[in-house]
Structure 1
Amino acid sequence: MELIKSLIDNLNTLSLLTILTRVILAVIIGGIIGLERGIKSKSAGLRTNILVCLGSTMVMMTNQYIYETFGSVDPTRMGAQVVSGIGFLGAGTILVTRGKQIRGLTTAAGLWVAACLGLAIGIGFYSGAIIGGISVLLTLTLFDSINENFINRPHTIDCYIIFETTNDFYSLLKKAKNDSWSIIEIETNHSVIDAPHYTYEITFQLASKESVDSFIEELNQQTGILFIKEV
């Protein structure tokens, strides 16, 4: 017990071992958050979250080093700038779709939390960072399933689709009248590169229980659709 206590005390003072421990922990926790976002093809994935968490950790360690070296500085100043400054990254992940839905809020919040966890690691608050990281992972996975299964509301997605002919496009319009999804908005997006094919950006409204992956898979099976991607 004394050995463990001594080791923990040593990790609260800056040393090569402390720096390595905090950097590795930041990479692991940031990577866990980023991996979950990356698996779901979100804009801020593995590398972004690792860099945010690692950068925040380095800021707090630098702040601690300056405080221990010079003494007469505010030990919270640099950390406060991280919390407010992370907003520009989060803003870059938020967008309003043509279906008037706001997307990217969870990813933006994840970046902010990754920064906060990095600050906790950087100052040596290991237990808080680990418990916080586990809580974030549970929130992003467990509560995502709860949200899909118990909150009944339709949702919209925007898709970039290349059709082989215009008849294939009209076939999709007819299909929308009979299935559990509908088309809200259509935007023509033809270009010389796509010729002689036909390109559209289409906003779909799905039933509350239908997943995006299964819907895109269903469209992929339709004859005449050469390419489809959620945007």
Structure 2
Amino acid sequence: MTEGLFVTARLAARDVSLSLTVPPGATVAVTGHNGAGKSTLFAVLAGLLVPDTGRCTLAGSVLFDLDGAGRGSWLPPHRRGIALMAQEPLLFPHLSVLENVAFAPRSRGAGRARSRSAARHWLAEVGAEQFADRRPAQLSGGQAQRVAIARALAAEPRLLLLDEPFSALDAAGTPVVRELLVRVLEGRTALVISHDPEDAAALAERVVVLEHGRVAAG
């Protein structure tokens, strides 16, 4: 599938061999026990791990095409158009909320004024514009997660990877951020790692189950 995401990859050292297709604009939840290969899949897509063999295309672009003999193509992470949101918000502590979000378009070559304008737009989209002048240490867990979502979206990614987006939240913050993600993920190509069936059902149109580095269902 050239319009969405297609990946097939094998990593012998981790005993991972999987294939996955995601239609354009679809959100797919990835679940499985610890060590099933979920984080490995995300690292391969983001360009943080190089598989032994495999091929990956996203929106018609080849991210990698490796034959196992040292030949092939490999697109570096910053050229993939992929945003990875880790379990923790990982905001820059020395920057304001506005500058944290503006960092995404700045890293893509946008000027200061344009980056700040984009940051304000996305902060408004996630209901966090009132925190623009704060530092991350002044935010609650739920507020920081909203800002992290805004930063990921400000990068205008072709693929959004969310690794357990609710793991750092308390019981009160989880429903709010879940409702927010349901809204902002609509029409976006995304993969979400989740161990919670309720979260997977709320966010994704399809659930893929990994077992021992293989796709077991979905």
**Radius of gyration: which is bigger?**
1
Say whether the fold is shared (TM-score over 0.5): no
Task: Kindly indicate which of the two structures has a greater share of residues assigned to strand.
Answer: 2
State TM-score, norm by structure 1. Answer: 0.23
Task: Kindly indicate which of the two structures has a greater share of residues assigned to helix.
Answer: 1
